[in-house]
Structure 1
Amino acid sequence: MARAAFERADAKGLPFAVVDKKAAKLFVFLADGRLAGAAPALLGLARGDRVAPGVGDMVATGIPADLRTTPAGRYDSQPGPNLKGETVIWVDYDAAFAIHRLRPSPARERRAERLASPSPDDNRISLGCVVVTGEFFDRVVAPVLGHGAGVVYVLPEPAPAPLAQGDATRQL
């Protein structure tokens, strides 16, 4: 994905990032296509590639678990503050979808431990945002994507297995 983005000039000479949901990793690239860094990332609790209509308006009241997806696609990103004044990289402002540093959360979520886990399946916990360690955000994300426009590519989830004929117990 990164090679195609650079070689086809899809990122239009801007720095860019690739979110690999299958591996639960964030790859950040300089405008010249060189890798600036890669790190594990927390992703949306629910699997899926679409953002639910109006999900950005649900942040204050609570996003239902099944709508907490990290949507796939190509996004023009922009740094800016969140509601708490923290710097984030807005991927889709209307959907409240951003790349940001790990913040304090309930102990039961074990977010820091999940980031350190070798299993990408452990990284499904966020409201939909891409969450990285504060060290990686400060050392790589903010210097590369935090000074202006960028592009973020979020790779889609692996396709679910097809339903067997007559199998009504599984949903797509």
Structure 2
Amino acid sequence: MIASREVVDGLKQGVLVGAAVLVLVLPQVRQHAWRAPAGMSPTVASALQAPAPEAGSPPDGTQATPAPPLQRRLELGRERASRDVRRVAQWVVDAADNGDRQFVILDKRNARVYVFEPSGKLAGASPVLLGYAAGDDTVPGIGERPIEDVRPQERTTPAGRFVAERGRNARDEDVVWVDYDAAVSMHRVLTTNPVERRLQRLASPTSRDNRISYGCINLPPSFFEKVLWPRFEQRTGVVYVLPEVKPLAEVFPGVARPLQLARKPGVSGPHVSGV
């Protein structure tokens, strides 16, 4: 029994001595563990010796400031939009269907486009040229066919909700792709065929002569460059193409449903592009 006590006492003393040695030695080890090689810049050496930032912290060590909640409100200003445009725009804002992205509403019946900030504030509106044929659907596989093989009755601008993004078409032109598989995009008005008088059609006071394209949405160059294009520079956006044949609620069922008050997190209140 006495021998056992002596062993235990000896172990305790050994632990205490070991702890004391560590207290004396560790600071020296930390001080001399790493030295910058000769010729290394002091700035680089200091950066290498600095402790790594915590996971999720900004590189400069500052605390990240969360983005304020998006204040959502439909603001059309003096723009006299159609009833269907107002209904869809109000639903997008109330339901936060666009998330935190800019959105576009295309009114085919009136050949007019509306570009909105993510909050619901109108950034601009403009007349547009649309597909020659009336209709809300596209022919399957039409985006893979040569443009000259697309028949007049097939030249429709499809209706629906699309996630759109910047891109280039086969002619190396700037476009915002609406339906990539169907080769439908928004782009500057094409004037390669003077007989079509596309600029004159855009400038006319009526929308009855704005059906001329193969399905794409032709915009005035200034509107495309100053209003639409910059808003798709950093991210995708949502494009809502209103139907002209089908009922609105068939294409956008959310317009007819009672509003759900739940919000999304962080949110409150080489194809040839058709010509």
TM-score by length of 2: 0.56
Secondary structure at 1:95 match in 2 = coil
Q: Which residue of 1 aligns with 2:204?
A: 117
Tell me, yes or no, if the aligned pair for 2:136 and 2:246 is still in contact at 8 Å: no
Q: Which residue of 2 aligns with 1:23?
A: 110
Q: Which residue of 2 aligns with 1:155?
A: 242
Equivalent in 133, 154, 160 of residue 46 of structure 1: 133
Equivalent in 93, 100, 105 of residue 192 of structure 2: 105
CA offset at residue 158 of structure 1?
4.5
Q: Which residue of 1 aligns with 2:155?
A: 68
State the alpha-carbon separation in 1 of the partners of residues 146 and 230 from structure 2: 27
Higher-helix-fraction structure: 2
Tell me, yes or no, if the aligned pair for 2:191 and 2:199 is still in contact at 8 Å: no
Unaligned runs of 5+ in 2: 1-87, 248-275
The runs of at least 4 aligned residues of structure 1 exceeding 6 Å deviation read none
Secondary structure at 2:181 match in 1 = helix
State the alpha-carbon separation in 2 of the partners of residues 147 and 120 from structure 1: 32
Is 1:144 aligned with 2:144?
no
Secondary structure at 1:83 match in 2 = coil
State the alpha-carbon separation in 2 of the partners of residues 53 and 33 from structure 1: 34
Q: Aligned in 2, Cα 1:148/1:51: closer, same or farther, shift over 3 Å?
A: same
CA offset at residue 159 of structure 1?
5.6
Unaligned runs of 5+ in 1: 161-172
Tell me, yes or no, if the aligned pair for 1:28 and 1:144 is still in contact at 8 Å: no
Rg comparison, structure with higher value: 2
Tell me, yes or no, if the aligned pair for 1:19 and 1:152 is still in contact at 8 Å: yes
Higher-strand-fraction structure: 1
CA offset at residue 60 of structure 1?
4.1
State the alpha-carbon separation in 2 of the partners of residues 56 and 24 from structure 1: 23
Amino acid at match of 1:12: G
Provide the alpha-carbon RMSD of the alignment.
1.5
Secondary structure at 2:191 match in 1 = coil
